[in-house]
């Protein structure tokens, strides 16, 4: 057993750990080139937390441990910007951009200039102030002159460095000469956007609806609402990110906007994933079309392009109007919308019993897909927009993911449209809806109501749950309607003879289902945790729980405080887990499942390291297995699965109808495997092992 550290030794180790953790944060979030696994990263962070607990005086404001969020705030302090955050003038047509260029040319006379085009991020404008490299304040735009101090909340965003850093001169971010700032400025106010990722927005809204809460209208609203939370721990649980593109007060000088962007990346700040230097306005117009075609490739909402004069020394002679600078302009794309007929409103039952009205639409092409259904969120939303069955409606994709009805085309009403009664529609389905105080959603309060039970069992048997072969929606329907199953535990009491009495079941089909149910008993611990249908617990958080608790007994006795301190859990999920296990009915369910032989322990298996250090990206569809199954095969061999292609990707596995990921792989020269080659690789050794780690970036 090693001797305990003294204060001097502890200080040295904490400083070393902070530097190492921040280096890994930079590699992951900025350079997309991580060197260690999530598990190894967590071990470093836990060691630092232990030292700071043992020696509280060594904890610093820039410590990576502060990202989980501190005590709730009493309110937000107003802060005056040292340099006003004025907004850009907007235009929606290219003729006005040509006029903008004409004004620039007139003001500059014979002085040469060029432009830089960037994506226009639809987020919340933010200003970060660094002093001697340390983040000291984060302020919202507010009215442009004064904003709110949201430093405590911004500290929880993992991609924002708490201390600026410089990278090694060999880094891919360092170009040459002035492109790489040699020293960190004593004062640096950097401006950018905090945004919520599209995937994160969709998941958050699903969680809110399952909890009976009002969903956010779009990612920007969700982001703004998150930054204004008084409890930083809630913010830490939100899928927020940030990109930077401008300066306020700064003690350094940059000749061009492009040079400034390179310097920001050099300091460890994330910049827009794509920007174009354009010698003339004609090239700007061309690149705007290229950018528009890329809008679905970004993880953030992008509603246009920003055009800036590249030469920063020309900003002063160009000047500003009372509202916006004369050296920059925003070009906004028209939102992608479509008009169609709302044929019917149906009720969708969530896995936690939330009843969501859904618009059944005349199929219409929108944002590259055919839309047939759109969420109406809740009864209040229908009343607010005065949506009626038979209306002509305008639909768009909120966050370009979830189709939603934006408004009714009231001028096309014929008088035959019918108002919708949520409660009557529920009762027509045999559902007696209830509304919990403080919630906007109606829900089924009876888990054993046939409609709810069918939804619950389908979730239980799903691929990410117990993955019961042959137990799809139609079979669940048969079992429930026949009265054979009244809860998940009843599945394990089924006998083949009972199944043979059901329509469509013969000897082989009945035996296959019995075998599938039996096989599900040995699923990994995280699968049953997801399958139970605990509110807010998805497959990701189920994995976190299984990694931190060796068995169900330990988890059932955990308190909220212990749970909310876990990575990706937080107070809301923690409370939901505790509430679930404190219910006597749920505890009886666990007992019955345990008695049936279902695995409720984290089993440690000797994992193969065959794919250690390799990162795979999966795209398209395969005949032999799903993406989830392919991912499991890769992880079982020690590999990592990423959602996006980068220079650090080892292989892209491309099935049928592979999309933009295949194109990017070919551009970067990444090795592409078809299904046959991938299956061959699973049975043998990879040709080459690149030390990369897991990537989950743009």
The pLDDT of residue 186 is above 90? yes
Residue-wise DSSP of 239-287: -EEEEEEEEEEESS--SBHHHHHHHHHHHT--B-S--EEESSHHHHHHH
Count of other CB atoms within 10 angstroms of residue 158: 15
| Pair (542, 460) in one structural domain | yes
Q: Which of helix, strand or coil describes residue 461? A: coil
- Dist. CA 633–CA 182, nearest whole Å: 45
Structural domain harbouring 297: 90-197+216-332
Closest to 163 in 3D by CA, of 201, 128, 112: 128
- Indicate the DSSP class of residue 127: E
Closest to 69 in 3D by CA, of 153, 130, 12, 193: 153
The pLDDT value given to residue 368: 67
The pLDDT value given to residue 608: 61
The pLDDT of residue 388 is above 70? yes
The pLDDT of residue 32 is above 60? no
The pLDDT of residue 103 is above 50? yes
CB 215 within 8 A of CB 321: no
- Dist. CA 39–CA 357, nearest whole Å: 41
Confidence band, pLDDT 50/70/90 cuts, at residue 178: very low
The pLDDT of residue 604 is above 60? no
Q: Six-digit token pair at 226?
A: 């998150």
| Pair (591, 470) in one structural domain | yes
Q: What are phi and psi of 363, to 5 degrees?
A: -50, 135
CB 270 within 8 A of CB 244: yes
CB 388 within 8 A of CB 408: yes
| Pair (513, 659) in one structural domain | no
Q: What is the CATH number of the domain that holds 43?
A: 1.10.287.610
Q: Is residue 559 exposed (0-12), middle (13-18) or buried (19+ Cβ within 10 Å)?
A: exposed
Q: What is the CATH number of the domain that holds 677?
A: 3.40.50.10190
Q: Which of helix, strand or coil describes residue 339? A: strand
| Pair (532, 488) in one structural domain | yes
- Dist. CA 107–CA 326, nearest whole Å: 10
| Pair (314, 241) in one structural domain | yes
CB neighbours of 16 closer than 8 A, spacing ≥ 6?
Answer: none
Assigned domain for 210 exists: no
Of the candidates 304, 332, 360, which is a domain's last residue?
Answer: 332
Q: What is the pLDDT of residues 7-21, one digit of tens each?
A: 888 888 888 888 888
Assigned domain for 223 exists: yes
The pLDDT value given to residue 68: 58
Assigned domain for 114 exists: yes
CB 675 within 8 A of CB 596: no
Q: What is the CATH number of the domain that holds 274?
A: 3.30.470.30
Number of domains in the chain: 5
Q: What is the pLDDT of residues 635-679, one digit of tens each?
A: 778 777 776 677 778 899 988 877 777 878 887 888 999 888 898
Q: Kind of pairing, strands 369-375 and 388-389? A: unpaired
Q: What is the CATH number of the domain that holds 433?
A: 2.40.50.140
- Indicate the DSSP class of residue 35: -
Assigned domain for 125 exists: yes
| Pair (341, 314) in one structural domain | no
Q: What is the CATH number of the domain that holds 557?
A: 1.10.150.20
Q: What is the pLDDT of residues 340-369, one digit of tens each?
A: 999 999 998 876 778 889 999 999 988 667
The pLDDT of residue 559 is above 70? yes
Assigned domain for 204 exists: no
Q: What is the pLDDT of residues 507-547, one digit of tens each?
A: 999 999 999 999 999 999 999 999 998 888 887 788 889 87
- Dist. CA 228–CA 280, nearest whole Å: 41
| Pair (428, 574) in one structural domain | no
The pLDDT value given to residue 180: 44
| Pair (469, 396) in one structural domain | no
Rounded percentage of the chain residues whose pLDDT exceeds 70? 89
Half-sphere exposure (Cβ direction) of 434: Cα atoms closer than 13 Å: 8
Q: Which of helix, strand or coil describes residue 9? A: helix
- Dist. CA 529–CA 488, nearest whole Å: 13
Q: Six-digit token pair at 522?
A: 């040995």
CB 355 within 8 A of CB 442: yes
Confidence band, pLDDT 50/70/90 cuts, at residue 176: very low
Which residue carries 């600078």 as its tokens? 325
Burial of 441-450, coded b for 16+ CB within 10 Å and e otherwise, reads bbbbeebebb
Which residue carries 């065959």 as its tokens? 610
| Pair (621, 564) in one structural domain | no
Start-end of H helices in 170-218 = 198-210
The pLDDT of residue 686 is above 50? no
Of the candidates 297, 332, 367, which is a domain's last residue?
Answer: 332
Confidence band, pLDDT 50/70/90 cuts, at residue 558: very high
Rounded percentage of the chain residues whose pLDDT exceeds 90? 42
| Pair (562, 466) in one structural domain | yes
Q: What are phi and psi of 279, to 5 degrees?
A: -60, -35
pLDDT mean over 109-137: 94
Q: 195-204, 279-288, 661-670 — which is least confidently predicted?
A: 661-670
Q: What is the pLDDT of residues 37-92, one digit of tens each?
A: 656 776 787 788 888 888 888 887 777 776 655 554 567 888 999 999 988 888 88
Q: Which residues are catalytic?
A: 120
The pLDDT value given to residue 690: 34
| Pair (367, 481) in one structural domain | no
Q: What is the pLDDT of residues 203-255, one digit of tens each?
A: 888 777 766 677 787 888 889 888 988 888 888 888 999 999 999 999 999 99
Of the candidates 443, 465, 496, which is a domain's last residue?
Answer: 443
| Pair (387, 240) in one structural domain | no
Task: Please give the span between the terminal C-alpha atoms of the chain, in angstroms, as a whole number.
Answer: 44
- Dist. CA 493–CA 587, nearest whole Å: 18
Assigned domain for 601 exists: no
CB 114 within 8 A of CB 280: yes
Q: 125-134, 490-499, 561-570 — which is least confidently predicted?
A: 561-570
Assigned domain for 572 exists: yes
Q: What is the mean pLDDT of the chain?
A: 84
Assigned domain for 24 exists: yes
Q: 10-19, 33-42, 188-197, 569-578 — which is least confidently predicted?
A: 33-42
């Amino acid at each position: 057993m090693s001797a305990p550290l003294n204060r001097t030794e502890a200080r040295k180790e904490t400083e070393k750990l902070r530097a190492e953790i921040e280096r890994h944060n930079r590699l992951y979030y900025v350079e997309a080139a991580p060197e260690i696994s999530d598990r190894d990263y967590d071990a470093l962070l836990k060691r630092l937390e232990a030292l700071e607990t043992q020696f509280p005086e060594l904890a610093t404001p820039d410590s990576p441990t502060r990202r989980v969020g501190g005590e709730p705030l009493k309110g937000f302090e107003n802060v005056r910007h040292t340099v006003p955050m004025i907004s850009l003038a907007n235009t929606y047509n290219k003729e006005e951009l040509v006029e903008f260029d004409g004004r620039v040319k007139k003001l500059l006379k014979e002085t040469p200039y060029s432009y830089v085009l960037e994506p226009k991020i639809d987020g919340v404008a933010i200003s970060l102030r660094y002093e001697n490299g340390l983040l000291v304040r984060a302020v919202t735009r507010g009215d442009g002159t004064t904003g709110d101090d949201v430093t405590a909340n911004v500290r929880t965003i993992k991609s924002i460095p708490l201390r600026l850093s410089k990278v090694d001169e060999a880094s891919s971010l360092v170009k040459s000469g002035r492109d790489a700032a040699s020293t960190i400025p004593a004062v640096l106010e950097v401006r950018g956007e905090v945004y919520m990722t599209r995937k994160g927005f969709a998941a958050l809204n699903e969680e809110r609806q399952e909890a009976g809460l009002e969903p956010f209208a779009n990612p920007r609203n969700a982001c703004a609402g998150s930054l204004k939370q008084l409890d930083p721990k809630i913010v830490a649980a939100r899928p927020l990110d940030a990109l930077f593109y401008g300066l306020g007060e700064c003690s350094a000088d940059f000749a061009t906007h492009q040079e400034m962007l390179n310097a920001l990346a050099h300091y460890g700040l994330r910049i827009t994933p794509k920007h174009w230097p354009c010698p003339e306005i004609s090239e700007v117009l061309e690149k705007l079309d290229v950018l528009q075609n890329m809008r679905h490739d970004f993880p953030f909402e992008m509603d246009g392009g920003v055009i800036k004069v590249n030469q920063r020394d020309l900003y002063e002679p160009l000047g500003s109007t009372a509202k916006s600078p004369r050296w920059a302009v925003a070009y906004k794309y028209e939102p992608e919308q479509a008009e169609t007929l709302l044929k019917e409103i149906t009720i969708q039952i969530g896995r936690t019993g939330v009843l969501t009205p859904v618009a059944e639409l005349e199929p219409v092409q929108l944002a590259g897909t055919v839309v047939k259904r759109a969420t109406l969120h809740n009864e209040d939303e229908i009343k607010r927009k005065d949506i009626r069955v038979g209306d002509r409606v305008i639909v768009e994709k909120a966050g370009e993911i979830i189709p939603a009805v934006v408004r009714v085309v009231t001028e096309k009403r014929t008088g035959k449209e019918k108002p919708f009664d949520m409660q009557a529609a529920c009762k027509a389905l045999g559902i007696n809806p209830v509304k919990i105080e403080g919630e906007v959603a109606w829900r089924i309060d009876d888990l054993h109501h046939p409609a709810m039970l069918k939804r619950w069992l389908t979730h239980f048997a799903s691929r990410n749950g117990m993955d019961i072969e042959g137990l799809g929606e139609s079979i669940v329907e048969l079992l429930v309607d026949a009265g054979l199953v009244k809860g998940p535990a009843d599945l394990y009491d089924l006998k083949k003879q009972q199944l043979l009495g059901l329509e469509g079941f013969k000897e082989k089909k009945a035996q296959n289902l019995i075998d599938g149910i039996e096989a599900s008993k040995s699923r990994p611990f995280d699968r049953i945790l997801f399958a139970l249908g605990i509110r807010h617990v998805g497959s990701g958080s189920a994995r976190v729980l299984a990694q931190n608790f060796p068995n169900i007994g330990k988890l059932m006795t955990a308190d909220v405080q212990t749970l909310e301190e876990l990575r990706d859990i937080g107070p809301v999920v923690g409370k939901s887990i505790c509430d679930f296990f404190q219910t006597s009915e749920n505890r009886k369910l666990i007992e019955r499942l345990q008695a049936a032989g279902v695995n409720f322990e984290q089993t440690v298996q000797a994992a193969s390291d065959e794919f250690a250090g390799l990162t795979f990206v999966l795209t398209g569809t395969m005949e032999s297995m799903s993406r989830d199954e392919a991912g499991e095969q890769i992880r079982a061999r020690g590999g990592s699965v990423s959602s996006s292609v980068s220079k650090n990707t080892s292989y892209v596995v491309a099935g049928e109808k592979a999309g933009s990921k295949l194109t990017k792989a070919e551009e970067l020269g990444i090795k592409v495997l078809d299904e046959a080659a991938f299956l061959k690789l699973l049975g043998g050794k990879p040709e080459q092992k690149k030390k990369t780690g897991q990537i989950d970036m743009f």
